Each structure stands twice: as structure tokens, then as C-alpha cells.
Structure 1
Amino acid sequence: MFGYIRPNKPELLVKEYDLYKSAYCGLCKRMGKDYGRLSRLALSYDGTFLAMLSMALRDDCPGFEAGRCVANPAKRCTYCTGHEESYAYAGAVSVLTAYYKIKDDIKDSGFWGKLRSVCLLPFAVRGYHKARKRYPKLDSIVYEYIQAQSKVEQDPQTGIDAAAEPTAVMLRKVLMPVAGGDQIREAIFLQLGYFLGRWIYLIDAADDIEKDQKKNNFNPFVKKLIREREKPLEGEALADYCNGVLNQTLSQIILSYQLLSLRHFDTVISNILTQGLPAMQKLVLYDRKAKREKV
């Protein structure tokens, strides 16, 4: 997972942030139980969001229990309990995507990136096999996404929409089981999953613009706005363009979300989608650039 779907912490009430942390810690604990301690390296904000969204649609309320942090026993934390299948599914998504990301990095990275990924691969294999055995359809979805993404990025004619399509389709398919067979939810998730996947791909591409430009890697924004223009966009003009594309996608995410009826975590999930995603755009496109210019 990419790690961009996170809450806007300053706008959360203390009790809401504690609720979010309890879901994060609950997923961490479940991943360690299912796939071993090192699988927690794949723990992400995106996986936590998926677990929360799944739990938010269920009738029964989740429980909470105090305990010690599984990664740091000296630290106390609260775990969100119950809804084990929601955690199991989110954990499997995290483990599978991490495994294929490592495999992809071995193929496409430079020497040091390749070496790092080769060292990580043995630790990811065990969790991958367990997740694939439990969720074979999910494994097929992620594998097909990796193959499709690699194919479109090798095509010199690929534009922004085509480049974002595999991630969009993948997340749409990943979200469908969360709907629990409810036709109305499935219709909503067709849109929510698609545009959330598209947003994730685009924010990641925007975040990597400078790196991809230096290394001559594929990046839809670099290709369209820098390499193919007589007068390339740069600086704030480039950030403004990327922000506009992301805002168009974000508006569709929020429209889809507003059609959902959530039973739990509604204020936290609303914060993530309506405030956390825009805050991430600001951080990636403007704040980080401003910090680099000051150095």
C-alpha cells in the first residue's frame, strides 16, 4: 500500500484520534498474528482505512481493550477488537501488495534499491504464501494490477488517465467484497474504489516527479508537462496543474462517500476523505517543495 490515505490529525477530536489509533493498533496486532512479526513492516494508513471502512458498515459495534504495544511492550495502547474478518482482509491486502511491490522494485530499481528489495523479499514470502492461500482471488487481483501497470508504463503513448487506470481498477475490485453483497453498496464502491485508486496513483506520481525526472523513469506528469511541452511547466505552475487533476478525482471520491450510510467510525472516515486527502495534496505539492527551497 502507498500510505497516503491518512487522517488530518489537527482536525480530529481527541476521542476520534484515539479511535483511529485503536484501529491502527488492531490491524498491527492481527497482521503479526496471521503473518508473523515482520509482516508489520507492511502496515500502512491505507490498510487501516480499509479495515475501518469494512467495520463501519457492520451492524455490530466493535469492542476495545487496553494492552501493551506488540512492537514496543513498554508502551500501552488500546486495541479495537471484534470484526476479525475486516482486519484479516485488510492485512491480506497489505501483505500481498507489499510482496508484489518488492518484486517490482527488484525488477525496476537501481542497484541500491534492488539490493534493499532482495534483502526484504525472504521476509515477505512467508506472509505472501499464507495470504494467497486464504484469499486466492485477492492475489489474482493484485497480480493482474501489477502486470497491467507495468504494461501501460512501457507504452510511450500512455497518458495520465491510462496510467492511473490499473490502480483504479485494482482498488475498485479490492473494495467490492467489503460491500458484503449489498447491491447499493456495491454500486457506490464501484465509484469510490475506482476514484480512490486513481487518486492514490496520481498523488504518488506527483510525489515522485523530481525523482522520476532525474532518473528518467516513467511518470505521467513528467511525460505530459515537462518532456512533451515546448515550454515545460515547473515550480508552482506544475504543482497547480497536478493539484487540479487531483481535485477533480477527489470530488468524485467525496460524492461517492456521501452516498454511504456508515454505522461506526463515520467522523473519522469523513475526516480522512474530506480533510486528510486534501491535506496530503498540500503537503506533497506545496509544503515539501517550500521546505526544499529553504534548504
Structure 2
Amino acid sequence: MKVREYQQFRAAYCGLCHCLKDRCGLAARFVVNFDCTCMAMLLSASECFESSCRRCIAKPFCRRDSYRGDAAFGAAADFSVILAYFKLKDSLQDDRFFARVRSRLLMLLLNGAYKKAKNNAPAFHSAAEKNLLALSELERKSCASMDASADCFARILAAAAEEEKNPQRKRILEQIFYHIGRIVYILDAVDDFEDDIKNENYNVLSYRFGYTDGKLSEASIEEIALTLELSEDRLYTAFELLDAGIWTSILRNILFEGLPAVSTLVLNGEWRNMRKKQREKMNGADI
């Protein structure tokens, strides 16, 4: 990513953080992340980059360039809070006592923001709730269909396009978000596989492929890689039809270079170690 693109991405990240506070309250700012920022940029078709220097909650004595935001960033803020709340709710199924306690405390902290986001984006909330219930039912039945499980999560992200007024752009965004959601679900299942087997948690890949010594076979990994490539191809085809305005080059870098790189690291079992090293390196540094 070029320096100018990185600076714009950081400004978008900061802009979304401020948007979260303005729409859903101070606690909502803690759900901001790179994935939410990517969602906001995909929803936005802005042709003009307007920013201002604003104080950063992480570093109160610093001022950072912050994108002023638009309606798309507001929608992404609501979606991000709803997704974060449901993720915490899902974590209550964790068998570990302290993990459940942590999730309950964070849900209490985020409850006010969640209610505001739910009120702001009722259609997205309804879609998320409906598909998460469907996913929970598949888990209860020990579903062995990777496609069925991934479809539930993919439909949640696809619902982010519901408020788009332009029918053609809406269809394009639905395809993009659907396949991003499908890829994310499958990669998470691969990344969490060994932990899920160890903790006896549901993981669709264990029912679909089986395992030896708590690990997937090379043949299973190859089949997973193939289905990920199919989703990536459809994602790229849809993206070529999207007018993403000022965010086009940044999103192209993320989707066409970053996403395949992450997929390779996850499938090779290298993603967790790399992520840990990145967190250590970025601790105390700028995003």
C-alpha cells in the first residue's frame, strides 16, 4: 500500500471511530477495527476526501487526520456494533468460565450502543439475528455441510447492502459482502480448528472432513483452498463492477493482495504466530 493510501486508510479508520461515538456513544468506539473500516469504504462511493484533525481516544494528546465520514460510514458504524454484540453473545457458549464472564461484562458495556445501533439499522439487525439463529441450529444438529454453515454468516454480511438505493450497485455489493463473509467464516473455522477440537467446540470442518491428531489432512486443506478460490474469483468479478470512488485503490490492495495472503497464512497454519508478532510490534504505535 502506498504512503498516501495508508494515510487515507488511517483517516478512514479514525473517521469511523468518531462516527461510532457520535451515533452509538463512547463505548461503541472500542469495536472499531480494520474489517469495519473496509466495510465502510465498500459502502461509500465518495469522490471527495474531506478530513480534519481530531483528538484520538487512544492518544488524547495527539491529533490525527480523520475522514469526516458520510452516510455509508454511519451505516457501517451501526453494523459494526450489532456484529460485535452478537459475537459477544455467541461467546457465552464458551465452556471456559472466565471467557463467559468477560463476554457478559463487555455486553453490559456495549448494551447502550447496541440498542442505538439496533434502532438505527433494524433491517440489518433482523437479518443478523435470523441468520445467527439458523447457524446456531446447524451447530446444534452438528451440521457437516461447510457450504450451509458458511452461507448463514455470508448472508449476514450481504445484508449490509440492503439500504443501497441503486439496484445495480446493491446487487454488486451483496455479492462482494456475501463472498467476503463466506471466506471469513471458512478461514475462522480453519484458524480455530485445533482449539475447537481441544475444547470440544463445534467446528463444521471436523464433521465435514474429520481429523487426525486434532489436525486437518493435506487433502482437506486443498479442498478448502479450492472453495476459497472460487469465492475469491466471484468477489473479484463483482468488485470490478463497483464504483468505490476514492477508496478504489485501497480496497483493491486489501481484497486482491491482502485477502489471498491471509488465506495462505491461515491454511499453512502461520497466521496466528504472525498476528501475535504484529500485535507486539504495533503495541504503542500508530495504526
TM bucket normalised to smaller: 0.7 to 0.9
Q: Which of 213, 231, 240 is 1:258 aligned to?
A: 240
Alignment correspondent of 2:12: 23
Q: Does 1:204 align with 2:168?
A: no
Alignment correspondent of 1:3: none
Q: Does 1:62 align with 2:49?
A: yes
| Counterparts of residues 58-97 of structure 1 (less than 5 Å) | 58=46, 60-83=47-70, 85-97=71-83
Deviations along 1:128-151, one digit per CA (max 9) or x if unpaired, are: 111112222222111112211101
5+ residue gaps, structure 1, are 1-11
Q: Which of 134, 146, 158 is 1:172 aligned to?
A: 158
Aligned residues between the structures: 274
Alignment correspondent of 1:32: 21
Alignment correspondent of 2:102: 116
Alignment correspondent of 2:35: 46
Shift in Å, 1:291: 5.2
In 1, Cα distance between equivalents of 2:254 and 2:95: 31
In 2, Cα distance between equivalents of 1:287 and 1:76: 38
Check the 8 A contact 1:176/1:189 in 2, yes or no. Answer: no
Q: Does 1:107 align with 2:93?
A: yes
Structural RMSD (CA): 2.3
Shift in Å, 1:185: 1.2
- Structure 2 counterpart of 1:79, one-letter code: S
Runs of 4+ in 1 over 3 A off after TM superposition: 231-241, 289-292
Check the 8 A contact 1:102/1:120 in 2, yes or no. Answer: yes
Check the 8 A contact 2:193/2:215 in 1, yes or no. Answer: no
Q: Does 1:272 align with 2:254?
A: yes
Q: Does 1:128 align with 2:117?
A: no
Q: Which of 170, 179, 184 is 1:186 aligned to?
A: 170
After superposition, the Cα gap between the structure-2 partners of 1:124 and 1:286, relative to the gap in structure 1 and judged at 3 Å, is same
Alignment correspondent of 1:144: 130
Check the 8 A contact 2:124/2:162 in 1, yes or no. Answer: no
Shift in Å, 1:168: 1.3
Deviations along 1:28-78, one digit per CA (max 9) or x if unpaired, are: 1111222222222211222101111122x24x5130112331221133321
After superposition, the Cα gap between the structure-2 partners of 1:266 and 1:219, relative to the gap in structure 1 and judged at 3 Å, is same
Check the 8 A contact 1:225/1:232 in 2, yes or no. Answer: no
Give TM-score scaled by structure 1 length: 0.85
Q: What SS class does the counterpart of residue 181 from structure 1 fall into?
A: coil
Q: Which has the higher contact order (CA 8 A, sep 6+)?
A: 1
Deviates more, 1:43-52 or 1:64-73: 64-73
Q: What fraction of aligned residue pairs are identical, expressed as a percent? A: 29
